[in-house]
Amino acid sequence: MSQYPAHLANTYWRSLHYFNLYRMIAAGILLLAHLFLGGRNPFGALAPNVYVLASVLYLLFCAGVAVTIQTRWPRFDLQLSVQVIADILLITVLMYSSGGIASGLGLLILVTLAASSLISRGRLAMFHAAIATIAVLLQQTYLSYTQTDAGGYLQAGLLSIAYFAIAGLAYVLAKRLTASEAIAQRQRVDLANLDAVNRLVIQDMQDGVIVVDGDNRVRQLNTQAERLLGPLRGRRGEVAMDDYSRILARHIAAWRESGDISVLPLRMPGGNRSFRARIIPIGDKRALGAVIFLEDLSRLQAQAQQLKLAALGRLTANIAHEIRNPLSSIGHAAQLLQEEEGFDATQKRLLEIIRDNTFRLDRMVQDILQLNRKDRGQPEAIALAPFLDIFRQEFTQMEHIAPESLVIEADPALSFNFDRLHLHQILWNLCGNAWRHCQQQPGSIRLAASRAEAENVIQLDVIDDGPGVPSAIQAQLFEPFFTTESTGTGLGLYIARQLAEANGATLDYIETTAGGQFRLSGKGATS
C-alpha cells in the first residue's frame, strides 16, 4: 500500500471490501439461479456440474478474501491482482459451462475490470484487460474444439475490444480522480494551515474575538473573550450564542435586523466590567456569520491613564529641570540669612520654614530627575544574600538605625536579574517607609527573598510590624505625588514601581492581617 497516499489508505481498503461484497452477491445469485430455476435459464446448461462447482468455489473464494481484506494482509496491490485474475478465470469457467459468449456472463468481467481500474487508479487496467481477453479467447477456442456449432468468434472479439475500451476509460477516469484528490488534499492542507494561522492570530490579539456562524453558534473565540464573558461550556460550533452570552446575543440579533448597530458599549450584568463590542459581517451577507471584537474598556482606561502619567512625568521632569537653579538660589540665600545676627525668634522660624521646604523641593526635583533616567539601567546577576547584607550596613549607618532592627532572610543560592543601582534605590525607598511606620524595635523590618511557584521568578518582600496601609488608600499608593505625610514628596513608591517595571519586574502591596508588606517580583538570574 506504500504506492498509495497514506491519508487515502482506508478509502482504498473500504472500496476493495465493497467490491468483494458485490462479487459475493453476484456469485450467490448465479448459484441460486441454477439451483432453483433449473432448465428455465441458460446458466450451467452445457456443463451443470462444472457450473455448480465453479459457483461454490467462487463463494468460498469471496469468503476467504473477506478475511484477508479485514486483516489487510497481504498488501493491497497483490490482493487486488489476485482477486481480479480469480474473477476472470472463474467467470470464464461459468461462461463456458453456460454455453460460451451467448450466455452473456462475459459482461460480468466488464464490471470487474471497471471496478479494479478505479480502485487501482488505472495502474493495472490494461494488464487485467489483456488477461480477460486471453481467457475469453481460450474459452471460445476450447468451446469450438468440443462443440462443432459453437461459433461466436466475432462476439468474442468484440467483447475483448470492449474489455480494453472499458479499461482505457477507467484508466482516464482514475487519473482524473487522482488529480482531483491531490488538489482536494492540498486545499485541505491549505485550509488547515490557514485555520491554524487564524487561531494563532486570534489568540494573540489583545481584544476579545468571537466568531459566530449564520445560526449564531460560537465557532471560535480567544482567551481574552473568555476572560470578559467567562469560559465556553461546550464544544465550539455547538454552543449557541444565546446560551453563552444573552446580552451579546440580543445585540447581534438587533444588528442582523437593522444593520445600524455595529459598535456597542456593554456592561456585564452583576459585574463592574464594561466592554465595547464591534460587529463585522463575514462576507457581504450578514446571514453568513460575523466576527465580534470585544474591547475591554477598563484596559483602554488603564492605557489612557498610563499615557497621562507618562506625559505628566515628562512635564514634571522639564519643570524640575527649570526650577532647580532658582531653588538652589533660594536655599543659598536662606542659608546666608541664617548666618546673619539680629533676627528674633519669629524671623528665625520663618527662615527654618524656608530652609525645610527648600530641602523638600530639592528632594522632589532629584527624585523626578532620577525617574527620568530610569531607562538607563544595566541589569546584571545579583547574588541577593551578600547584596542585602551590604545594603543593611549602608541603610542602618545612614539612617542611624540599630543593625538588628533589619533582619534578612535569603537563600544564598538566590540571584536576581536587576540593575544594581535601581534595586538599591527601590529597597532604600521601601525600607525608609517601613522604618517610619514600624515600631522601631529589633526585627521590625524583614527583607525576605524566596523563589516563587512560577518558573525562574524571585520574590523579595519588605515587611514591617507597623499598622499597615488602610484598604481605602491602597489603590492610590503608587500614584505620583500621593502622600499621607506633610514632609513627603509622594514620589517614593511611584519611582520604586517605575524602576521595577524598567527591569521587567513588578512591585505590589500585599495586604496582610498585621503590618505592611511590599513585594518585588522579577526574573531570577540563570547560571
**β pairing state of 406-409 and 445-451:** parallel
Q: Give the largest CA-CA distance in the chain.
A: 159
The answer to whether residues 109 and 163 touch, using CB atoms and an 8 Å cutoff, is yes
Cell numbers found for residue 375: 531607562
Question: Residue 210: helix, strand or coil by DSSP?
Answer: strand
Q: What share of the chain is helix, strand, coil (3-state, %, to 5)?
A: 60, 15, 25
Q: What is the pLDDT of residues 128-165, one digit of tens each?
A: 999 999 999 999 998 888 876 656 788 889 999 999 99
H or E segment and range at residue 292: strand 289-296
- Write the CA distances from 76 to 11, 15, 62, 135, integer angstroms: 12, 11, 16, 24
Domain 300-371 indexed as CATH 2.40.128? no
Identify the pLDDT of residue 396. 92
- Report the CATH fold assignment for 376-523: Heat Shock Protein 90 (3.30.565)
Cell numbers found for residue 341: 545676627
Q: Provide the angle, in degrees to the nearest 10, between the axes of the packed helices 125-146 and 76-97.
A: 20
pTM recorded for the entire structure = 0.46
In the chain, what are the domain boundaries?
Answer: 6-185, 205-299, 300-371, 376-523
HSE-CB of 477 using CA atoms within 13 angstroms: 20
Identify the pLDDT of residue 488. 63
- Report the CATH fold assignment for 205-299: Beta-Lactamase (3.30.450)
Distance between CA atoms of 371 and 319, rounded to whole angstroms?
A: 13
Better-scored residue on pLDDT, 369 or 82: 82
Q: For residue 2, what pLDDT band results from cuts at 50, 70 and 90? A: very low
Q: What is the pLDDT of residues 352-411, one digit of tens each?
A: 778 777 776 776 677 666 665 555 568 899 999 999 999 999 999 988 899 999 999 998
- Write the CA distances from 496 to 61, 419, 520, integer angstroms: 87, 13, 10
Better-scored residue on pLDDT, 154 or 317: 154
Better-scored residue on pLDDT, 284 or 152: 152
